[in-house]
Amino acid sequence: MKINFKNFKKKMKEMKENKKNKKDKEKRDGVICIREINENIRRVETGQPLTKPLAELNYYCEFKKKFNEMDKLYHPIIVCSQCKCEVEKKGYCSEECRIKAREYYSQPKVKAKLKEYYQRPEVKAKHREYYERPEIKAKKREYNKKPEVKARIKVYNQRPEIKARIRARNRIYSQLPKRKAQQKEYSQRPEVKARIKTYNKEYYQRPEIRAKYKAYYQPKRAKYKYKTKNDKTKNDKND
Ligand SMILES: [Zn+2]
């Protein structure tokens, strides 16, 4: 076996250099304390002069990380979800990218993967936490108030499968102890009681409801009449 000494030497040199760089970095990270980093981050936020030049501070990984995070927060760069080019609004830069993305996400393999991801407890918890934030809730409420969105939701809710889903959800919701107690309290309010009473009175007076009840109860009554005590004993004797 032939050993290429030139390459070997080069590699050794590289390794040594890497080690030295790493040590230097560790040294750099060590000479500044986290308190000074945090203080400088605070100063960047408030626009005060820094304790050290920015170029020097940027040597410290901890500072750089925090600074980048903050920069992202204040100056977010929005990119196309498909080709990663910079765009003004969240989404895709072109119709082409949109179609490409749709093709990608409609693959059964990708769909299954996404489904698995969104069903993870930690992901679910994260989403729940996000959508329960007051500012997000308010934003959503504002969005849903728009006429075009309202119309779209109405059409969506009319779909049979969606109707069934809403009904199932309401059934589960109404069974919750909290909801049950709420409903009990509500129905026992005097004004609500009175309203229910007048509604029921009006309801049972409706001709179609009366006809329905008549159709339901009359055969039952006839059956009941048939099975009076006398009839029963007579039948028993016949047996
Ligand atoms: Zn694009």
Query: Model confidence over 181-196: pLDDT tens digits?
Result: 999 999 999 999 999 9
70-81 burial: b if 16+ Cβ within 10 Å, else e: eeeeeeeeeebe
Is residue 2 very low, low, confident or very high in pLDDT (cuts 50, 70, 90)? low
Distance 103 CA to ligand 1 centre (A): 14
Domain-embedded: residue 34: yes
Distance 61 CA to ligand 1 centre (A): 32
Tokens of 69: 């995070």
Domain-embedded: residue 223: no
Distance 100 CA to ligand 1 centre (A): 9
The DSSP element (H or E) to which 219 belongs, if any, is helix 207-226
pLDDT recorded at residue 37 = 85
Among 29, 53, 27, residue whose Cα is nearest residue 40: 53
Long-range contacts of 33-37 (CB under 8 A, 24+ apart): 34/62, 37/62, 37/63, 37/66
Domain-embedded: residue 32: yes
The DSSP element (H or E) to which 218 belongs, if any, is helix 207-226
Domain-embedded: residue 89: no
pLDDT recorded at residue 97 = 92
Distance 80 CA to ligand 1 centre (A): 5
Higher per-residue pLDDT: 1 or 42: 42
Distance 98 CA to ligand 1 centre (A): 8
Higher per-residue pLDDT: 32 or 218: 218
Distance 13 CA to ligand 1 centre (A): 43
Q: Give dist(CA 153, CA 168) in Å, integer.
A: 18
Tokens of 221: 């009554």
Distance 105 CA to ligand 1 centre (A): 15
Is residue 238 very low, low, confident or very high in pLDDT (cuts 50, 70, 90)? very low
The total domain count for the chain is 1
Which range marks the domain in which residue 42 is found? 16-74
Sequence-separated (6 or more) residues with CB below 8 Å from residue 34: 62
Distance 93 CA to ligand 1 centre (A): 4
Distance 89 CA to ligand 1 centre (A): 12
78 and 87 in contact (C-beta within 8 Å)? Answer: yes
Domain-embedded: residue 210: no
Distance 163 CA to ligand 1 centre (A): 37
The DSSP element (H or E) to which 188 belongs, if any, is none
Distance 75 CA to ligand 1 centre (A): 20
62 and 98 in contact (C-beta within 8 Å)? Answer: no
Q: What is the pLDDT of residues 64-115, one digit of tens each?
A: 888 888 777 777 778 888 888 888 888 899 999 999 999 999 999 999 999 9
Q: Can you give the pTM of this predicted structure?
A: 0.36
Q: Give dist(CA 129, CA 121) in Å, integer.
A: 12
With a cut of 50, say whether residue 61 has pLDDT above it: yes
Q: Give dist(CA 11, CA 5) in Å, integer.
A: 10
Distance 82 CA to ligand 1 centre (A): 5
Domain-embedded: residue 63: yes
| Distance linking the first and last C-alpha atoms of the chain | 111
Average pLDDT, the chain: 84
pLDDT recorded at residue 27 = 58
Distance 107 CA to ligand 1 centre (A): 19
Tokens of 155: 């059409």
pLDDT recorded at residue 76 = 72
Domain-embedded: residue 127: no
Q: What is the pLDDT of residues 147-194, one digit of tens each?
A: 999 999 999 999 999 999 999 999 999 999 999 999 999 999 999 999
Q: What is the pLDDT of residues 108-151, one digit of tens each?
A: 999 999 999 999 999 999 999 999 999 999 999 999 999 999 99
Domain-embedded: residue 52: yes
pLDDT recorded at residue 14 = 83
